[in-house]
Amino acid sequence: MRISDSPYSGYFFALLAATCWSLIGIFSRIPIASGITPLEVAFWRALSGGLCFLAHGLASGAWRVGLWDALAFIVFGVCNLGIFFIAYSIAIERSGAALGAVLLYTAPMWVVIFAHIFFKEQLTPCKIAALLGASAGVSLLSLSGGGMPGGGDLWGVICGLAAGFLYAMHFLFGKIYFPRVSPITIYMYGLLAGSAAMLPLVDFAPARGPADWAALCGLGLICTYTGYQFYCAGMKRLEAGRMAVICNLEPVLAIILAMLLWDERFSALGGLGMILVLGGVLLVMLDKKK
């Protein structure tokens, strides 16, 4: 039996997507450390990922789409993908890869709420407890200053929370369109539109080294093109809320990598906050009620 035919294939694809996305902090930190701004990093991520989807779309014919759908994907790309990439890059720069990843993963809690409102996914007592615990955890993480040696700052926390909210909208948008439109089409239009919207705002660095280009290409090819392919495969097999919380493997991996590579450490307060956030996620994962 093929993996795609397994009843657990949705979980498998969600974990693969989370693994790809956990590398965002690593790839982003390399060019940022060289003096490249978070906005430029976000621009190259959107553009390189969009070009990968464009090549796929041209080869498969998936570029063809109705006018109104194309406009919807362009608006999605500008308002969600573009701003989301910028906010998350700023969060990584100012609060560290570890705290940035945890703040991003307030998204599943938003997904649970909006999936209940718009898709009638059941909001059980278990999910409510998870929401409250995760909210308390985010508050503690914000007060702890994150994992950076000098601590994160308020702007980094705000951008991390904004990225989490926009990321949640991503799940809901996908739930509406993925059943009838190829994700290749959606991300081809969306990422290219997002990069075009960012272009006038970017202050390009005068030079970039080979390591910077390799990291920027990794953001586009691995974290964006490949990660979104796995994400779309999972979204076709799981409900929005469940898919969102399974992807919370990402901050766990991102935190481990940040600790190993940059010696980012949480204080006791931050550690408690992380436990509450991930504990809330675990509660939602264990809730079997539809």
With a cut of 80, say whether residue 181 has pLDDT above it.
yes
pLDDT value of position 248: 64
| Rounded distance between C-alpha atoms, residue 119 and residue 14, angstroms | 20
Average per-residue pLDDT for the chain: 80
83 vs 130, residue with greater confidence: 83
Q: Would you give the DSSP letter of residue 22?
A: T
52 vs 127, residue with greater confidence: 52
How buried is 250 (Cβ within 10 angstroms: 0-12 exposed, 13-18 middle, 19+ buried)?
Answer: buried
Q: Which of 145-154, 231-240, 266-275, 279-288 has the lowest mean pLDDT?
A: 145-154
Q: What is the pLDDT of residues 202-237, one digit of tens each?
A: 888 888 889 999 999 999 999 999 998 998 888 777
Measured in whole angstroms, the distance separating CA 273 from the mean position of its chain's CA atoms is 20
With a cut of 50, say whether residue 97 has pLDDT above it.
yes
Enter the pTM of the model.
Answer: 0.74
**Structure confidence at residue 31 as a pLDDT band (50, 70, 90):** very high
How buried is 266 (Cβ within 10 angstroms: 0-12 exposed, 13-18 middle, 19+ buried)?
Answer: buried
pLDDT value of position 116: 79
pLDDT value of position 1: 44
With a cut of 70, say whether residue 40 has pLDDT above it.
yes
Angle at 56 between CA 26 and CA 178, to 5 degrees: 85
Q: Is-contact 177 64, C-beta < 8 A?
A: no
| Rounded distance between C-alpha atoms, residue 195 and residue 50, angstroms | 8
The helix (H) or strand (E) run that includes residue 287 is none
For 142, the token pair is 């914000």
Structural domain spans, the chain: 16-286
pLDDT value of position 49: 94
pLDDT value of position 289: 54
Backbone Cα Rg of the chain: 18
For 90, the token pair is 């700023």
